[in-house]
Chain A
Amino acid sequence: MDSDPRKLLDAAIADSDAFGAIITHTEGMVYSLAYNFFRNRAIAEDLAQDAYLALFRNLHKLESDMHLVNWLRMTVTRKCIDRTRRKKFRPHLDLDSIPEPRVVSTPPDPVLAEELRQKVSELPAKMQVVVVLRFQEDLKLREIADTMGIPVNTVKTLLRRALIRLRPKVAHLKTEVCYAPTGR
């Protein structure tokens, strides 16, 4: 993708069947953004499909493969926020909340990981997007601001408040998990 900045884009514009290559390159990111937001596989898949269809309709507006990835990221996060506003979606515990096998790394503590996922999904929508973009996509604050179309200082504030909300839970769980098995 780096060798030719328009390789995927040009191929998809020329032939709609080549659009599959774009999906292969980006489906992990797109699906995970939606899944980490809603904790629901069906909604995440539905939202990912909508995002790809929107991408297909807007291919001619994009300038490079990197632009394509950023556009997808921005579209998915906006769709997540829109859906939350429209349906007042509240995460619920069901079979979808069972942890899936990790791709990148194994969480240090499964209990803490699940608790964190739950707490993140209960954050306000914008705060949630900032946390997901920061810790899933590993974006810098400036990149998050560009993706969300908000000032960097707002991103800093949202991230700080989100971490403040999450920290007590972590401290509590960390203490429980670390010391409980020893029986002291």
Chain B
Amino acid sequence: MRRQEDSRYLEASLRASLARQPAPKSLKPQVMARVRAESGREGVRTAPARPFRRLAPWKSWALSTSAVAAAAALLWGVLPLRDTRTDAEAVAMESAGLELAEVLHMAGSEWNRAQQAALSPIQENGND
């Protein structure tokens, strides 16, 4: 019984002790000054940007049309260049290939001759 009385008394005392206090009068002006400073820095407060929100139908149509047009223009401009570039590259590769084959052939011939020149006395000695 005594314990219950103490509990009730404790709770009543806590409620009274922890009752709300009047805020100082300086609190509101100081907060408002900081709020005004912040809103002044940011300019007019607007709703946050939503980059992934759903677009209006006309906007999505306009965006997709312009994207297709841009892609077509790009293809139209790039593909002919690519063709000529490919031809030029092919010609260059062909001439380079021919030159290389010629050089290799000449080098091979020289090497063959050198080999033959080097081996011929040994072969002769071996035969003896």
Q: Which of A135, A163, A171 contacts B18, CB < 8 Å?
A: A135
What sequence of 0s and 1s flags, for each residue 1-39 of chain A, a beta carbon within 8 Å of any chain B beta carbon? Answer: 000000000000100110110011001111110011000
Check A170/B20 contact, CB under 8 A, given A16-B36, A53-B34: no
> Which of B24-32, B55-63, B73-81, B90-98 contacts its partner?
B24-32
Least CB distance, A95 to chain B, in whole angstroms:
14
Report if B72 contacts A (CB, 8 A).
Answer: no
- Which residues, 104 to 124 on A, are CB-close (under 8 Å) to B? 104-109, 112-114, 116-117, 120
* A75-110 contacts to B (CB < 8 Å): 100-109
Main secondary structure of the interface of B (DSSP, over half): helix
User: Which residues of B are found within 8 Å of A113, using beta-carbon distances?
Assistant: 13, 16-17
Residues in B whose Cβ lies below 8 Å from that of A31: 21-24, 27
Q: How far is the CB of A16 from chain B (nearest CB, A)?
A: 4
Taking a contact as CB atoms under 8 Å apart, the answer to whether B18 and A36 are in contact is yes
Least Cβ–Cβ distance between B90 and chain A, in angstroms: 62
Asked if B13 contacts A170 (CB within 8 A), the reply is yes
- Kindly state whether residue B10 has any CB partner on chain A within 8 Å: yes
Q: Are B24 and A167 in contact (CB under 8 A)?
A: no
| Nearest-Cβ distance from residue A163 to partner chain B, whole angstroms | 6
**Given the contacts A23-B27, A45-B26, A167-B6, A104 and B13 also touching, CB distance less than 8 Å:** no
In the complex, the answer to whether B16 meets A27 with C-beta atoms within 8 Å is no
Residues on B with beta carbons closer than 8 Å to the beta carbon of A36: 18, 21
Does B66 sit at the interface, judged by CB under 8 A? no
Q: Is the CB of A102 within 8 A of B16?
A: yes
Q: List A residues 50-64 near B (Cβ within 8 Å).
A: 52-53, 56-57, 60
| A27–B48 alpha-carbon span in the complex (Å) | 27
Instruction: Determine the interface band of chain B, counting residues with CB < 8 A from chain A.
Output: 20 to 34
A148 within 8 A of B: no
Q: What is the bound-complex CA distance between A170 and B14, given in angstroms?
A: 10
Q: Which of B11, B14, B28, B39 contacts A27 (CB 8 A)?
A: B28
Q: Which of A13, A29, A45, A107 contacts B27 (CB 8 A)?
A: A45
Residue A156 interfacial (CB < 8 Å) = no
B82 within 8 A of partner (CB): no
Contact B24 A45 (CB under 8 A): yes
Contact (Cβ within 8 A) A120 B14: yes
Residue positions of B touching A, CB distance < 8 A: 6-7, 9-24, 26-28, 30-32, 34-36, 38-39, 45, 47-48
* Residue ranges of A at the interface with B (Cβ–Cβ < 8 Å): 13, 16-17, 19-20, 23-24, 27-32, 35-36, 41, 45, 48-49, 52-53, 56-57, 60, 100-109, 112-114, 116-117, 120, 131-132, 135-136, 138, 163, 166-167, 170-171, 174
Additional A-B contacts beyond A27-B27, A131-B14 (8; CB < 8 A): A19-B32, A23-B28, A31-B21, A36-B21, A101-B22, A104-B19, A114-B17, A163-B10
